[in-house]
Amino acid sequence: MKLADIAALIRSKNAGPFTLTFDIMFADQASYDRVKNSGALTQASFAKLYGYPEDKVRFFQCDNALALKFSIPRPLTQGAPGDGDMHGGQQFVPLMNVEIR
Amino acid sequence: MSNNCPIRFIAPVGSVGGGINAAALDEALAQPTDFIACDAGTTDAGPFSLGMGIPAFPREAVKRDLSLMLRAGRKANIPVIVGSAGTAGGDVHVDSVLEIVREIVAEHKLKLRTAVIYAEQDKAYLKRLLHQNRILPLDPALPISNSIIDGSSRIVGMMGVEPLQQAIGDGADFVLAGRCSDSALFAAIPVMRGFPPGLAWHAGKVSECGTLVCETLGKGVISTTVSCEQIAIRPYGNGLRCTPQSVAAHGLYENADPFLHRECSGTLDLRNATFEAVDDVTVRIRGTEFFSEPAYTVKLEGAELAGYQSIIVGGIRDPYVIRQLDSWLASVRNYIDDVVSRVLDDKADKNSYNLVFHTYGINAVMGKLEPEVKNLPHEVGIVLEATAPTQDMAHKLAELSRQPLLHYPIKEWAGSITAFACLHNPAVIDRGPVYRFNLNHVALPSTPLEMFRIHFEDLDGSTQS
């Protein structure tokens, strides 16, 4: 099953002009536990998915929010020439297809 | 300090100008309330507001919300606190909002003891701090030097609770602050009155985006009550509810770290926070902690002119071009560079300008992060972005780029081709000045108030005709 079919919301956003953050939120405990325990979402899997250095990826498990979270330094500072997503809102999409077993 | 009674505040909207639900505000204010607070700014709009010195929100929308807040505050005789005025919170931004406040005071015959707190930073002062190693980089570290400070269009410091507390302590009915921590706007009075700082700051954190803390976003206001043991947060507005998950999840929003939030005076720690439903719409928070940090730090935000920009918008449909788009665009770029150096010669050193092709349909949205580069679309949208030291040069760069984009040959076709579908005539759109954020640093002032200037003005609209 794909992550997009289990999560209630997958989103990305700036966390200040220099950081991108990705939130994966769930509607219920069972869905959260299933993804959290699947091992499909890790610093390493995120780094591979986005072609990004693993040591720069931060990963958080937020049990009381039923949410998983990644943060990375922005490849380009918000608004710098070449930046194509001023608010960082469309960077989450590759996460949608992560396979959860 | 007595704090047996809880303190209650209203967050009327996520940002001044967002559109306050007046009926919900009235309903919320039917209960005893201690203050109203709201931020009016963000860096999320981009560096232009800070660099150019103009707000990113329409004046009419800001005036409507400010008017509702100020009249509600006077009617209930409670303070109103607004921070990060005019989007970026520089002096010119604060003054533009102060002008709106004067109009509201006159139109509604209000009396308003107003504290204006300026947050823009003097460059000579910052250079002194830098010399004393009192400006430190955050991650990711950007370079800093006297010339970077001097070259900034504008630098603001993000204030904490202390300047706001000074203003409230001196009897302000209305505090209009420049760049300010969003949470500090709500934490200032509760911290001043001796409530536990963990709860006071967390109350601000969950309230500052208005109804974004609710399960589903909608038009309403947030009411937050802080006592010595807990926070209770609830919305007013049709169908809105806070749930334990929605309030906990708000700690994630636009934050790199969902558990630890650095403020000027310390760190808010959500790791032991608990969230429970009180009723269908209200959530109780307990256990949040706040640790004082050894150094008082003020975050700096700066913007500098990146140049002037002109763009051309168009598209490509030819599959032969699309399948070799990267190499074709690289050849087009080399050709443009040659034309530019021939035509503009010494006026256009190759390092003085910047050409970017945004290729919509390939990777314009995600750039280097895009994993799906193998699946080629049948059509590609292209925005050519030329950035140069003057508008005239940016315009000429874009003009000189049009012919190579149109006609640069490919081996699959014999003879002259026209590979680029221009959207407009004239093709070039001038975008004006563009800015970039150039600081990611904190300053270490010798006191929490040192970097901020507080002015009092007794505004009185009751004597005017």
Average pLDDT estimate for A1-11: 96
Cα four-point dihedral sign B125, B130, B134, B140: positive
The segment(s) of chain B belonging to CATH 3.30.70 are: 304-437
Question: Per the CB < 8 Å rule, is B47 touching A76?
Answer: no
Tell whether A48 is within 8 A of chain B (Cβ).
Answer: no
Please report where in the chains the tokens 């700066």 appear, as a residue.
B302
Nearest CB to A62 within list B252, B356, B437: B252
Query: Minimal Cα–Cα distance from B313 to chain A, Å?
Result: 14
Answer whether B291's CB lies under 8 Å from B244's CB: no
pLDDT in tens, B118-143: 999 999 999 999 999 999 999 888 99
CATH fold for the domain made of B304-437: Alpha-Beta Plaits (3.30.70)
Tell whether A64 is within 8 A of chain B (Cβ).
Answer: yes
Which long-range CB contacts under 8 A does B26-29 form with residues at least 24 apart? B26/B72, B27/B236, B28/B221, B28/B223, B28/B236, B29/B72, B29/B75, B29/B76
List for chain A the helix, strand, coil content (%; round to 5): 30, 25, 40
Q: How far apart are CA B371 and CA B316, in angstroms?
A: 22
pLDDT at B81 over 50: yes
Best of B52, B255, B440 to disrupt the A interface by mutation (most A CBs within 10 Å)?
A: B255
Q: How far apart are CA A88 and CA B88, in angstroms?
A: 19
- Give A93's contacts in chain B (Cβ within 8 Å): 366
Question: Per the CB < 8 Å rule, is A81 touching B356?
Answer: yes
Tell whether A5 is within 8 A of chain B (Cβ).
Answer: no
- pLDDT for residue A46: 98
Residues ≥6 apart with Cβ < 8 Å to B390: B308
Closest by Cα among B198, B206, B270, B204 to B243? B206
Mean pLDDT of chain B: 95
Average pLDDT estimate for B104-108: 97
pLDDT at B350 over 80: no
pLDDT in tens, B39-65: 999 998 899 999 999 999 999 999 999
Categorize the per-residue pLDDT at B230 as very low, low, confident or very high, splitting at 50, 70 and 90: very high
- pLDDT for residue B456: 97
Residue A28's closest chain B neighbor by CA? B245
> What does B289-321 look like in DSSP terms, one character per residue?
EEEE-SS--EEEEEEEEEEEEEEEEEEE--HHH
The C-alpha angle with vertex A57 and arms to A10 and B208, in degrees rounded to 5, equals 55
Helix intervals (H) in B256-390: 319-322, 325-344
Strands B231-236 and B260-262, bridge-based pairing: unpaired
Query: Minimal Cα–Cα distance from A3 to chain B, Å?
Result: 17
- Give B371's contacts in chain A (Cβ within 8 Å): 49-51, 94
Closest by Cα among B298, B266, B291, B261 to B447? B298
Answer whether B443's CB lies under 8 Å from B298's CB: yes
Residue B75 CB coordination number (10 Å): 11
pLDDT at B3 over 70: no
pLDDT in tens, B160-200: 999 999 999 999 999 999 999 999 999 999 999 999 999 99
Categorize the per-residue pLDDT at B346 as very low, low, confident or very high, splitting at 50, 70 and 90: low
Here the ipTM equals 0.93
Closest by Cα among B261, B250, B269 to B299? B261
- pLDDT for residue B464: 57
B91-120 burial code (b ≥16 CB/10 A, e <16) = bebbbbbbebbeebbbeeebebbbbbbbbb
Please report where in the chains the tokens 């563009």 appear, as a residue.
B434
Question: Is residue B170 classed as helix, strand or coil in its secondary structure?
Answer: coil
Average pLDDT estimate for A81-93: 95
Categorize the per-residue pLDDT at B1 as very low, low, confident or very high, splitting at 50, 70 and 90: very low
Question: Per the CB < 8 Å rule, is B258 touching A67?
Answer: yes
Answer whether A24's CB lies under 8 Å from A17's CB: no
pLDDT at B148 over 60: yes
Nearest CB to B252 within list A69, A78, A80: A69
Tell whether A52 is within 8 A of chain B (Cβ).
Answer: yes
Q: Is B450 exposed, middle or buried (0-12, 13-18, 19+ CB in 10 A)?
A: middle
pLDDT at A68 over 90: yes
pLDDT at B8 over 90: yes
Best of B181, B216, B242, B245 to disrupt the A interface by mutation (most A CBs within 10 Å)?
A: B245
CATH fold for the domain made of A3-75+89-96: Alpha-Beta Plaits (3.30.70)
Tell whether A40 is within 8 A of chain B (Cβ).
Answer: no
Average pLDDT estimate for B334-355: 85
Average pLDDT estimate for A46-67: 96
Categorize the per-residue pLDDT at B11 as very low, low, confident or very high, splitting at 50, 70 and 90: very high
Question: Is residue B136 classed as helix, strand or coil in its secondary structure?
Answer: strand
Closest by Cα among B434, B448, B318 to B385? B434
Nearest CB to A75 within list B273, B274, B368: B368
Q: Is B240 exposed, middle or buried (0-12, 13-18, 19+ CB in 10 A)?
A: buried
End-to-end CA gap in chain A: 7
pLDDT at B2 over 50: no
pLDDT at B262 over 50: yes
Q: How far apart are CA B255 and CA B166, in angstroms?
A: 28
Query: Minimal Cα–Cα distance from B419 to chain A, Å?
Result: 23
Tell whether A91 is within 8 A of chain B (Cβ).
Answer: yes
Residue B425 CB coordination number (10 Å): 6
Average pLDDT estimate for B313-331: 97
Q: How far apart are CA A19 and CA A24, in angstroms?
A: 17
Phi, then psi, of B275 in degrees rounded to 5: -130, 120
Question: Per the CB < 8 Å rule, is A79 touching B46?
Answer: yes
Nearest CB to B254 within list A13, A79, A82: A13
Query: Minimal Cα–Cα distance from B108 to chain A, Å?
Result: 37
Query: Minimal Cα–Cα distance from B1 to chain A, Å?
Result: 34
Q: Which sequence spans correspond to the domains of chain A?
A: 3-75+89-96
- pLDDT for residue B351: 82
pLDDT at B254 over 90: no
CA distances to B88, B232, B295 from B300, rounded to whole Å, are 12, 33, 15
Q: Is B170 exposed, middle or buried (0-12, 13-18, 19+ CB in 10 A)?
A: exposed
pLDDT in tens, B407-464: 999 999 998 999 999 999 999 999 999 999 999 999 999 999 999 999 999 999 987 5
